[in-house]
Amino acid sequence: MREFNLTRTTNESDIFLKLNLDGEGTSTIETGIGFLDHMLILMTRHGLFNLDITCNGDLHVDYHHTVEDVGIVLGKAFSQCIGNKEGINRYAHAVTPMDDALSSVTVDISGRPYLVYQVEGLKDKVGNFDTELVEEFFQAFVNHAQINLHITLSYGKNSHHIIESIFKGFGRALDEASRKNPRIIGVPSTKGSL
């Protein structure tokens, strides 16, 4: 079973997370940030992961610590769930429309963290959520999941739709890349390790 529970407590946040990569897309997510919860629920549903998160963060300061720390914990849990990477697809790509927005997300579960985030034109905020935190979330995830992630916005007008397109595509690409493939023997690398 590819699932992992993780607790992380700092002076800025207290997080419990449970992730199952081979789920049905169910979630219970309570970060204290409604927009982040909404995006993680969408990611979970479209990635067919089971995900539970509770987070008590220093939201009186701002949302940055909570968003980044959730990305850190989710990335660590994903890395644990993947294990030695034997038999996984490794690569995946998802192009996802959301009304006026179209984005592409490409994943390589490479063991090498690298983020390319080409998203221009977002408004500063969606409600009271700072849109610059989307990149912070993905950077934290990438660093701790040890994956290569490319996010590109082709076009879009509505910032909510743009971010929703990205999170849905992220879930779909992560699911495909992490999926076990019976045709793949060992680690999908000519080096023999990832």
Going from N- to C-terminal start, the domains of the chain cover 3-178
Length of the chain: 194
Q: What is the predicted pLDDT for the residue at 194?
A: 79
CATH number of 3-178: 3.30.230.40
Per-residue pLDDT of the chain (194 residues; tens, 9 = 90+): 799 999 999 999 999 999 999 999 999 999 999 999 999 999 999 999 999 999 999 999 999 999 999 999 999 999 999 999 999 999 999 999 999 999 999 999 999 999 999 999 999 999 999 999 999 999 999 999 999 999 999 999 999 999 999 999 999 999 999 999 999 988 888 787 77
Question: Between helices 64-82 and 34-47, what is the axis angle to 10°?
Answer: 20
Q: What is the predicted pLDDT for the residue at 90?
A: 97
Distance CA 114, CA 139 (A): 8
Q: What is the predicted pLDDT for the residue at 141?
A: 98
Q: What is the predicted pLDDT for the residue at 190?
A: 78
Distance CA 174, CA 189 (A): 18
Question: What's the CA angle centered on 181, arms 72 and 115, to 5 degrees?
Answer: 30
155-174 burial by CB neighbour count: b if 16+ within 10 A, else e? ebebbbbbbbbbbbbbbbbb
